[in-house]
A and B are shown apart, each in its own frame.
Chain A
Amino acid sequence: MTGAELWTTAAVFGPLLASLVALGGRPAALKAGLLLGSVTTLAGSLGLWLQVLQHGPVRHLLGGWGAPLGIELWADGFSVVMLAVTALVGAAVSLYSLSYFGDLSTLDAETSPAGRAARYFVPLWLLLWSALNGIYLSADLFNLYVTLEILGLAAAALVTLAVTPRATVAGMRYLIVSLVGSMLFLLGVALLYTEFGTLALEELSAAAPGGPMAATSLALMTVGMAAKTALFPLHAWLPPAHAGAPAPASALLSAVVVKGSFFILVRLWFAVYGGGSEAGLVLMGGLGAAAILWGSVLALRQRSLKRVIAYSTVAQLGYMFVMFPLLAPEGLGGPDPRWSDDAWIGGILLAVSHALAKASMFMAAGNMSYAVARDGLRDISGVAHRLPMSFLAFGLGGLSLAGLPPSAGFVGKWLLLREALSAGGWFWVAIITVGGLLTIAYVLKVLRHALDREASDGDFRPVPRRMEWAALLLALASASLGVRATEVFQVLLQGGVQPWT
């Protein structure tokens, strides 16, 4: 087995195996599953990272069969970065979930709701992890469809682990949106296959899809993925679902699950379709801009902690779509459009930064509501003085989101701005800037309540240290990534925007 094969196998099948282990249901099985999943994905992503950095994109034919029937795994810089971020977030969330549901060794899975939640959470999460890694490493459309479907089902199930009616409804709505999205995607796949007779991304890319059928299929897949990514105006399912889920699930959903469909979108638009059409890119950017504004404004108006963060996800996802028009600053004319490295690195850095920061913020928020047993902004008054580490984590996460140094968000925004300014795209400049300010405003709103000392005399339930550390470590990673963004830069250039040309 070559290195690449080993690492890809570890990344995809490690968590799957772990999920099976965790199905055992006993605390030891849950712990073993989490450990196995974290270790295999961390090792797999690190190994692949080095591999890709040194040798460029790598491929792995599962079982030795080639297309069309064999399953091919394929990794370039983009895959590896997403894989690594997911591994980081996943490891932290795994650590977090060890304590979130209570002491696993004393939990009675049969009678206590927390025990039941824990028993479902761990295998579901590991399954989800495997699916996500599968998405990042998929080389063909059908594979993407299957992993996407698993991802959607597991994610929706995670939301419903929270027992409140609100969360249940939100989870159901999420499931429906997700299934409809998958159907749209599958329809698009069908059309593509009809037209080109292949599903392998590389071959499709070589065919340079064009014409009405290809356009329709791209439109269908885009709508489907946009619904799953909660791109404005298809975002409405997200806030109740992400806010309603248990904290570790919220962290996963907001940080990495939406990135799965985002990953597919980027692959489709740029790797397969060579950028699609200019108007289409601007439309995506415009939707992203609208998402930034609308999500931020609504985040500002929320009165519960997790809702603020959930709406913030809507807004931050907008940034990743603002990347779309900036990627091709000189238009798509000609066979080989000049892709902008600035926009590419900047956009992906923002995605990475958002993933780390959002996970830490949801975990920190989980700690705060864990301590006060409530979730309203007014209920967490004074929590900064009781949970300084969680508060710090939230603050650091917030500053990453807002794109303040030393976070990767700062470097990412700098690069995006540089591209926008070089291209004279003042609209994008304004959106990026205003979005950052609105981010500050809603993060500040939470900090303000947390800092309020006058009302800090309620009952506090002690928060396990492990949960605080998980949030803080991730926040620190997100806040300090900017200093070493060059690592991400190097690996992202392996393959780049359009890896098959």
Chain B
Amino acid sequence: MEGLLSVLLVLTWSFPLFVALLWTSARLRGAGLQLAPFAALPGLLLALLAGGLPAPPEVGAPMTEVTLPLLFTGVDLVLDGTGRSFLLFTSILWLAGGLFARAYHATDVRRGRFFLFFSLTLAGNLGLIVAGDMLAFYLFFALMTFAAYGLVVHAASTEALRAGKVYIVMAIVGEVLLLAGLFSLGGTFGGNPAFGAQLESTWVDLAAGEGPTFGGAAVALLLASGLGVKAGLIPLHLWLPLAHPVAPTAASALLSGAMIKAGLLGWMRVLPAETPLPEASTVLLVTGALAALYGVVAGILQDDPKTVLAYSSVSQMGYMAMGTGLLVAHPELAPWAGVALMLYAVHHGIAKGALFLSVGLADRVPRGDGDRARWWILGGTTLPALALAGLPLTSGALAKNTLKEGLGEMGGTTYSVLEVYLPLAALGTTLLMARFLATLWRRREAADPGTRAFLPFSYGTGTLVAPWAALVLLGAGGMAWLPISVDVPANVALPGPGAEVLVGLLPVLVGAAVGWVVWSRSRDPDRRGLLPEGLAGARVPAGDLLVPVEAVLRWLPLPNQEEWVESLERRGRRGRARMRLAARQLDRLAARDVETVNGTLLGVILVALGAGLVLLLMG
């Protein structure tokens, strides 16, 4: 068993890489295409098998471990409780996404390329989960980040390329910030610390001001923001609302469901668990809170269902940032917050995946098949949507309640503030989901260029619907399996299913009521807008803050490098012309070399000598 797990630990990321490698050979490319959708299977297998193991003696202890001393700077592969949870939902999502994409891109001429980047991104995503040290994590993180670019720009439309540009620019900025943080850690540790005790002691040194660069808080913020780009932390979320709508549906689902969680996992991995960093915590808490709210507001003002979902992700990641913030400031909260964060991640990942796939499914509903199919889709979609809103008895409620439970343990001002804030946010999430359902209903046409070719619903049903349905069911029935997917330490008791039903139900009910009122009073003949009259014209452009940033960049008088070089060269030409002139004068002089020197100079020298001679002879 141990041996099998070790092999799986390696296969988890190397199998997708192998699949990607097949692409370089024209002959094997077909095989790669067939294998790619299933490339996440070793990861899933590992997560499932590890789940069956007896719980390790203490939290965070590795369930299985492999060291590859020759690889890179020496790579530790570790599967611990946190990793298992992430691996589980991530590989489920990738499997579902892969199967969905296989059907969705069946007639896409560029599907080979899609699955190349799919496999590479997958390798990165799963690899970073099992990475046991800082550099290995960074290695896989970077692989995922850059390979995902290929997924974002797959459509190669103008919007896709713009979104890709924003994505890659922000990703690089994120990488740089992250690397700066890693350098600080590495410089303090004197190498590459493994996660866990080594990293923790590094933080202790850093917090004590023994690091070579900044203090602990600054390093933590560098790391948090570097990873925050991936996690969509405000104001680093700009790429999210641009990339999700243009990426192929499966890719959006993976971006939002799995990959942004890599940011969260990164936070949990690299930020200190036992060294309080209050400043960093405050920043995370405040930006998280802002994101949770801002995502709702900006999301409601969108028309594209995928953009709505993107902002929903921004909002949800805000919660997770808050959770992380608590974790960083309050080591005593660690078990609770950790469990809550993982529950959140799993729940949100699955639910968001299901929601995104819904959009893709809706796109492929043939016109003739009419509304019946759409009703089915809408009905199914409502389930994860409600879970996301935190309806009691769903996975969302479980995650939320666990967090509250933990906060209750802590008490204090933060708790009081959150006690008010969380229900309000839940209300917002409900409204956002309502808006999403409305925009989904209105969506009629396939949004993906290149896949416009009509697909008979019957063909696609099996392959398109199956992964969707699986995710919907998993998302809706999360309450049943979620607790098993997360290792719960002994000192944490998960709240029961019935806990705070009323408190939890209230925001959802209010949200639904507001939605209904707006729906019913809409002047829109279709009554499908689900947006109050006052807001009917108001829109936040997708990519919100980016618009002013781009405007400023355009306006900035950046020096024109070519002009500068040109002017230098002009000056050089002038100098050369002057030199040519001087050279011509020299030529004239040189032409007289023979006569001048021979005659005058020789004469003068000889006569002078002769005179000297005469004088000497006389003396």
Contact = CB atoms under 8 A, between A and B. Distances in A.
Chains A and B touch each other in the complex, with CB atoms below 8 Å apart: yes
Interface of A: 173, 184, 187, 212-213, 216, 219-220, 223, 227, 233-237, 239-240, 297-298, 301
A223 B610 CA distance: 11
6 contacts: A173-B598, A212-B616, A212-B619, A216-B613, A233-B601, A234-B602
Interface in B585-619: 586-587, 590, 593-594, 596-598, 601-602, 605-606, 609, 612-613, 616, 619
A213 B587 contact: no
B172 to A, nearest CB: 44
B598 A236 contact: yes
A227 B616 CA distance: 23
A286 to B, nearest CB: 15
Interface in B432-485: none
A223 to B, nearest CB: 6
Interface residues of B, number: 18
Contacts of B590: 298, 301
Contacts of A240: 594
Contacts of B594: 173, 236-237, 240
B583 interface: yes
Contacts of B593: 236, 239, 298
Nearest to A300: B583
Contact of B609 (A212, A213, A219, A237): A219
B612 A297 contact: no
Contacts of A219: 609, 612
Contacts of A212: 616, 619
A233 B612 CA distance: 20
A305 to B, nearest CB: 17
Contacts of B612: 216, 219
Interface of B: 583, 586-587, 590, 593-594, 596-598, 601-602, 605-606, 609, 612-613, 616, 619
Contacts of A297: 586
Contacts of B596: 236
Contacts of A184: 606
Contacts of A237: 594, 598
Contacts of B602: 227, 234
Contact of B597 (A216, A220, A236, A301): A236
Contacts of A187: 613
Nearest to B612: A216
Contacts of B586: 297-298, 301
A161 to B, nearest CB: 21
Nearest to A219: B609
For chain A, what secondary structure do more than half of its interface residues adopt (helix, strand, loop), or is it mixed? helix
Contacts of A236: 593-594, 596-598
A127 to B, nearest CB: 27
Contact of A235 (B597, B606, B609, B616): B597
A212 B613 CA distance: 9
A168 to B, nearest CB: 15
Contacts of A234: 597, 601-602, 605
Contact of B606 (A173, A213, A223, A239): A223
Given A212-B619, A223-B606, A301-B590, A233 B597 contact: yes
A223 B597 contact: no
A235 B616 CA distance: 28
Contacts of A173: 594, 598
A376 to B, nearest CB: 15
Contacts of A235: 597
A162 B590 CA distance: 24
Contacts of A216: 612-613, 616
A223 B607 CA distance: 12
A467 B596 CA distance: 37
What 8 pairs across the A-B complex have the smallest Cβ distances?
A236-B597, A236-B594, A212-B616, A236-B598, A298-B590, A216-B616, A233-B601, A236-B593
Given A223-B605, A301-B583, A213 B616 contact: yes
A423 B473 CA distance: 92
Nearest to B602: A234
Nearest to A169: B594
Nearest to B601: A233
A240 B597 CA distance: 14
A210 B290 CA distance: 101
B371 to A, nearest CB: 75
Contacts of B605: 223, 234
A235 B594 CA distance: 9
Given A236-B594, A301-B586, 20 more contacts: A173-B594, A173-B598, A212-B616, A212-B619, A213-B616, A216-B613, A219-B612, A220-B613, A223-B605, A233-B597, A234-B601, A234-B602, A235-B597, A236-B593, A236-B596, A237-B594, A239-B593, A298-B593, A301-B587, A301-B590
A92 B54 CA distance: 93
A184 B609 CA distance: 10
A262 B601 CA distance: 21
A220 B616 contact: no
A241 to B, nearest CB: 10
B598 A220 contact: no
A300 B33 CA distance: 67
Nearest to A212: B616
A187 B606 CA distance: 13
Nearest to B583: A301
A297 B579 CA distance: 13
A223 B609 contact: yes
A223 B605 CA distance: 9
A220 B608 CA distance: 11
Nearest to A222: B609
A297 B598 CA distance: 19
Contacts of B619: 212
A213 B606 CA distance: 17
Nearest to B599: A236
Contacts of A220: 609, 613
Nearest to A297: B586
A364 to B, nearest CB: 24
A23 B236 CA distance: 97
A449 B568 CA distance: 28
Contacts of B601: 233-234
A184 B598 CA distance: 16
B562 to A, nearest CB: 29
Nearest to A232: B597
Contacts of A301: 583, 586-587, 590
A184 B587 CA distance: 32
Contacts of B583: 301
A240 B596 CA distance: 15
A173 to B, nearest CB: 7
Nearest to A302: B590
Contacts of B587: 301
A227 B601 CA distance: 12
B610 to A, nearest CB: 9
A184 B613 CA distance: 12
A237 B593 CA distance: 9
A340 B126 CA distance: 75
A173 B609 CA distance: 21
A163 to B, nearest CB: 20
Nearest to A226: B605
Nearest to B589: A298
A233 B604 CA distance: 12
Contacts of A213: 616
A425 to B, nearest CB: 26
Nearest to A213: B616
B155 to A, nearest CB: 48
Nearest to B597: A236
Contacts of B597: 233-236
A240 B595 CA distance: 12
A405 to B, nearest CB: 30
B580 to A, nearest CB: 11
A181 to B, nearest CB: 11
A220 B612 CA distance: 10
Q: Among the interface residues A173, A236, A239, which one has the most CB atoms of the partner chain B within 10 A? A: A236
B613 to A, nearest CB: 6
A329 to B, nearest CB: 28
